[in-house]
Amino acid sequence: MTAPNPAPAIEITGLTKDFALNLRGIKLRAVENLTLNVPQGEVFGLLGPNGSGKSTTIKIILGLLDPTVGECKVFGVPSGRVDSRLNVGYLPEAPYFYRYLSGEELVRFYGRICGVPKKVLKDRVREVIDWVGLTGASHRRVGTYSKGMLQRIGLAQALVHDPRLIILDEPTAGVDPVGSAEISELILKLKKQGKTVLITSHLLAQIEDICDRVAILDKGKLIVEGAVNDLVGLRDRQSLIVDSLPPAELDELRGWLAARGHVLNAVEQPRTRLDQLFLSKVSRPKKEGDSK
């Protein structure tokens, strides 16, 4: 095995991307002076409203677009070079694959494109298909797959060459909460394997659950970047969850706190999250290919 590359998985420096809107030279600035580092082994969330520059940034990382200014490197290799993509797996938003191929044929096709040796290709294809839970549906044509299955076969093709960086563009778009939870589980498994994952999603609760760090873009500019815990945690506050207190004891507690110079800011009833409630009530489809 080769020694791990110390370079960040993604290193973006002063990146600006303009798109020409017409022949008169009017341009749209999609990304402006973006500097971003994604260390190896992290799950990194790239967030922002529609049109904030997330997809453009991803396309530059994948070498599908050239930056107007600045540079982008993947494991130390400029992203415009073909070899920068040797260690990258990509699942596009709302993926649409060749409908006439079966799931297994599709993953084999991408494996061959990536140069996976013939002697291991067959086993590798079966392995990743099993890993995403589509073994039972691997001989069905992709045209018959549900959205959740398309996302999973998309994940399989992204992983077939065992990349170290996996880029997931809206992997849960249009997927039901069960499928979305399964994709989250797969991402966490990837993290355990030491993979770097870059994910964009509008499901912020999901991002909060699975990401180590996030960056928020708005109108092409980096607004916020940091560890999730640092960004969403309120360091000067604490929650104490106790059994329900009668009003008299609550007043007593409030007085006890006041005597020590503290204020009881809120008394709330803890709630479960709606997605957790949904997942606890809805039965999950069997792993070997859900029904359409």
Partner 1 sequence: MNTAFPFPLSGRSVPFSLGRLGIVAGNTFLEAVRQKLFNFLLLLAVALVASAQLFREFNFGSSELKFISDFGFGAMVFFGSTLTIAATAQLFFSEIENRTALTILAKPIWRTEFIFGKFLGVFAVVGVFCALTTMLMLALLYHRETSLMTANPDAFESGRIIHYGDLVLMGVLQWLKFGVLAAITLLIASFSNTNLYTVVMGFFVLVICHLQYLARDAYGSVASLPLRLLVQLLGYVFPNFQVFNLADQIGIGEGIDAAVFLRVAGYALIYIAVIGGLAVYSFRNREI
Which residues contact partner 1 by CB under 8 A? Answer: 1-2, 5, 19, 59, 62-66, 75, 82-83, 85-88, 90, 92, 94-98, 100-101, 109-110, 112-117, 120, 124, 127-128, 131, 154, 157, 159, 161-164, 167, 189, 193-194
With respect to partner 1, which residue has the nearer C-beta, 44 or 110?
A: 110
Judged by beta carbon, residue 101 or residue 250, the one nearer partner 1 is 101
CA distances from 197 to 46, 150, 152, 229 (A): 10, 19, 15, 18
Smaller CB separation from partner 1, 80 or 136: 80
CB of 114 to partner 1, least distance (A): 5
Smaller CB separation from partner 1, 64 or 253: 64
Contact 69, 95 (CB under 8 A): no
Nearer to partner 1, 114 or 178 (CB): 114
Q: Give the max Cα distance, the chain.
A: 74
What's 14-81 look like in SS3? EEEEEEECCCCCCEEEEEEEEEEEECCCCEEEEECCCCCCHHHHHHHHCCCCCCCEEEEEECCEECCC
- We find the least distance from the C-beta atom of residue 37 to partner 1, in angstroms, to be 19
Q: Distance between CA 54 and CA 46 in Å, rounded?
A: 7
CB of 171 to partner 1, least distance (A): 13
Residues with Cβ within 8 Å of residue 37, at least 6 apart in sequence: 8, 10, 11, 12
Residue 199's SS3 state is: strand
Q: Min. distance of Cβ 92 from partner 1 in angstroms?
A: 5
**Least distance between partner 1 and beta carbon 152 (Å):** 14
Nearest distance in Å: CB 211, partner 1: 21
Instruction: List strands edge to edge, sheet with 213-218.
Output: 88-91, 165-169, 196-200, 43-47, 213-218, 221-227
Nearer to partner 1, 159 or 207 (CB): 159
- Tell me the three state secondary structure of residue 107: helix
